[in-house]
Amino acid sequence: MPFLPVNQSDLKERDWDYLDIILISGDAYIDHPSFAAAIIGRTLEAAGFRVGIIPQPDWRNDSSFTVLGKPRLFFGITAGNMDSMVNHYTAQRKLRNDDAYSPDGISGKRPDRAIIIYTNIIKRLFKGVPIVIGGIESSLRRIAHYDFWQDKVRNSILADSKGDILIYGMGERPVTDLAILLQKGVPVSSIQNLPSTVVFSSTFPAKEDIILPEAEKCSAKETFYQMTRQFEDNYRTKTIFQKNAGRWLKHNPPAKPLTTKEMDSIYALPFAYQPHPVYAGHKIPAYEQIKDSITSHRGCYGGCNFCAIACHQGRNIQSRSETSLLKEAQKHTGTISDVGGPTANMYASFCGLDFPETCKRNSCLVPDICPNLQINHSVQLEILAKIGNLPRIKHLFIASGIRYDMAVNDDNYIEALATKYTGGRLKLAPEHSVSSVLRLMNKPQIEVFEKFCKKFYFYTNKAGLKSQIIPYLIIGHPGTTMEDAFELRNWLRKNKLKVEQVQEFTPTPMTISTCMYYTGLDYETGKPIHIPKPSEIRRQKELIINQ
């Protein structure tokens, strides 16, 4: 199949004189299922719609937005695979000088707050055409949220952008259902109950619905804290309302997780697995990083407080079948750099009770692994073995994150990692070593990491291999002090661990850690905690880097 159209030449190649749907993305167009616009575009195409993409339009030039004409049904707008503010700025609010999702890594191809800018331009140029916003920037700003870059609580991005409907999470099913409704002539304003959407409500909340504090009142830190707890406790199962700029926003519960059959059908779509030809002669760093990898599943139930994966992809692990993975693996030659997802060894695991409404745990793993969690690493190992035995595959690695607390008691899995799938360097994320900090992060205690490392090195030594565990750390998380940084440095020295990546905590929208950063309150207890200032965070980082 040809690429989805990005210009008039592409439209002529397909002999099309109109499009049903036009997607606008802050990323370059890479026709690969790891990139949001491509996977949504191909899904809509498979449902029978004519879809085009305007990648990285110049927001200073209206003609960039009119290149494909006016869509018959709607514009779909995304900032891309990253929040545009995270993409542009460091944890110290300094401008980044590169962009992995742009040709040759050149920055400046998208505006700050891309969703709002793109939507305002489309509303001006194409009056009356429905606008659907989505992607990570919309998903994690779907209710009132703290914005680190302005140091203020902002309204839902649906209210700020004045789009018509917001789709949060992995949007294949809701965006297809929405397109079908619009195709049938249903007005976008009448689409009120679609799962995984946020809309301007045409009705008042019902008795059983959850009402969050008004967005304008959430600047008060105690109110923001209460709103976050209320949302976290209810968004998976209840309809939630919140007033934003005087209007009721309705947050519908998430769509049901995709089945294995549905996942397989999505990844079987006719992707080109490369950037559009308009980028010939240019390298796109994000594509170079993932072009030899395979996505095996989605979702995460780890519940790290600084992470928003579960809020976006869901807690349920949605796994592809062995047949699907082998079919994709056969397209590769030489090295497969990764077979995984947010957490590699969550593949094919599930809750034995299917995450009942009565379960209030934020994590299935912390403080202890839930007895209802069904983990079977052997399923993943069997598939990896079959992929590794394909005639054109020479090397196979796991580069996705590993939850060592899930694997620590499975010696077969640790041995396989140590001797077959890590390439001599295993990157793990203990994030810190101090007990009180790990509790605030909702991470396992450091003794679990140490136990895993001991077993890993036992198997590498037994096999006569030289291997190294590289720890990922977060510095400056809410609740950390200089004393904690000294203790972390001493732990690294004691264990002779070399650090390659020290990440400064960035308060991204809608995480529990961001709630703690803004409010200065321990999320679990509601008691005040220390919030390190930027200068202190720099000192903590220097202490660890220069250990």
Q: CA 408 to CA 491: how far, in whole Å?
A: 20
Rounded distance between C-alpha atoms, residue 257 and residue 265, angstroms:
14
User: Is 218 among the annotated ligand-binding positions?
Assistant: no
Q: Please give the distance of CA 477 from its chain centroid, rounded to a whole number.
A: 20
The DSSP letter of residue 521 is B
How does pLDDT run across 14-64, given as a tens digit for each residue?
999 999 999 999 999 999 999 999 999 999 999 999 999 999 999 999 999
Check the CA dihedral 489-491-494-497 and report its sign. Answer: negative
CB of 112 closer than 8 Å to CB of 85:
yes
**Cβ contact 58:114 at 8 Å:** no
419-466 pLDDT per residue, tens: 999 988 899 999 999 999 999 999 999 999 999 999 999 999 999 999
Per DSSP, 24 falls in state: E
CA pair distance 168, 302, nearest whole angstrom: 20
Select from 34, 43, 58 the least CA-distant residue to 4. Answer: 43
The C-alpha angle with vertex 158 and arms to 155 and 162, in degrees rounded to 5, equals: 105
Annotated binding residue 351:
no
pLDDT recorded at residue 231: 97
Q: What does the pLDDT read at residue 96?
A: 95
Please, which residues bridge with residue 22 across strands?
Answer: 52, 75
pTM of the predicted model over 0.85: yes
CB distance 467 to 423 below 8 Å = no
Cα–Cα distance measured from residue 375 to residue 412, given in angstroms and rounded to the nearest whole number: 13
**515 annotated ligand-binding residue:** no
pLDDT of residue 515: 98
pLDDT for res 166: 98
Nearest to 345 by CA among 315, 383, 375, 311: 375
Written as tens digits, the pLDDT of the chain (547 aa) is 799 999 999 999 999 999 999 999 999 999 999 999 999 999 999 999 999 999 999 999 999 999 999 999 999 999 999 999 999 999 999 999 999 999 999 999 999 999 999 999 999 999 999 999 999 999 999 999 999 999 999 999 999 999 999 999 999 999 999 999 999 999 999 999 999 999 999 899 999 999 999 999 999 999 999 999 999 999 999 999 999 988 999 999 999 999 999 999 999 999 999 999 999 999 999 999 999 999 999 999 999 999 999 999 999 999 999 999 999 999 999 999 999 999 999 999 999 999 998 898 999 999 999 999 999 999 999 999 999 999 999 999 999 999 999 999 999 999 999 999 998 889 999 999 999 999 999 999 999 999 999 999 999 999 999 999 999 999 999 999 999 999 999 999 999 988 887 999 999 999 999 999 999 999 999 999 999 999 999 999 999 998 7
Structure confidence at residue 1 (pLDDT) = 76
**How far is Cα 495 from Cα 87, in angstroms, rounded to an integer?**
34
H/E run at residue 21: strand 21-25
Q: What does the CA dihedral 100, 104, 107, 109 come to, rounded to 10 degrees?
A: -100
Question: What's residue 547's pLDDT?
Answer: 76
Among 469, 378, 492, residue whose Cα is nearest residue 422: 469
- Go through the domains of the chain in sequence order and give each one's CATH number: 8-191 (3.40.50.280), 292-545 (3.80.30.20)
Cβ atoms of 538 and 475 closer than 8 Å: no
